[in-house]
Structure 1
Amino acid sequence: MQLTHQLLERGWIWHDDALHAPHHTLWVAAMSDEPNLESLRQRTVLAAEEAGDHASYSAGHAALHDDLVSLIDALDDVIEQAREAAPGYTIDDSAQYLLN
């Protein structure tokens, strides 16, 4: 299942050729420069940890944290499904699961 579908199921919306997070704190372009889902996930986890550290001080950080966790969950589902569908799945194969 592609990332687009996973994000839409989590309340993300299409607007101006990009998927926007439910709290409107971030967006993912349809033609993302990131073909490596696992690398994107790792960077998103770091960002979520940072936002989470400040979530209790700011509603904006809490919303950003929620949106980042939504993206991480979607990436986890796509990566897991790719591994199940293709036991030889590698990081280099992840581009086919990006937004289309």
Structure 2
Amino acid sequence: MLPKLPNVEVRQLSSSSETTTPVVDLLREQMLEAIKLTLGEALVDSHLKPGDDLWIRVHTDSWLDSVQKLRDQHSFDYFGFLSAIDWMPSPFGRAKTTQLNQRQCVTR
């Protein structure tokens, strides 16, 4: 037989009646739509953080064309970041290609 629990007030941690209003950033959303129209299939991905910033990703073969279109058609005058990542695995294996491993071999 289970012991009788005392009567205590239970407080609901969250209420289903409370709804959160999504943060809307109309300026950046409109900007993203205009960029989509301008860049077309060159646009690979985008990320909009409301009230903060908008990031876009374009195909590598259209970097120059995309920058020129954004400058000429939308008056963008600041280029903030370019990243290139080589996702191909090394045919030689990790141990033979990294400088870190080469230094470890020398210091042992």
Q: Would you say same fold, with TM above 0.5?
A: no
Higher relative contact order (CA 8 A, sep 6+): 1
Structure with the higher fraction of residues in helix conformation:
1
Normalising by structure 1, report the TM-score: 0.26
Structure of higher CA gyration radius: 2
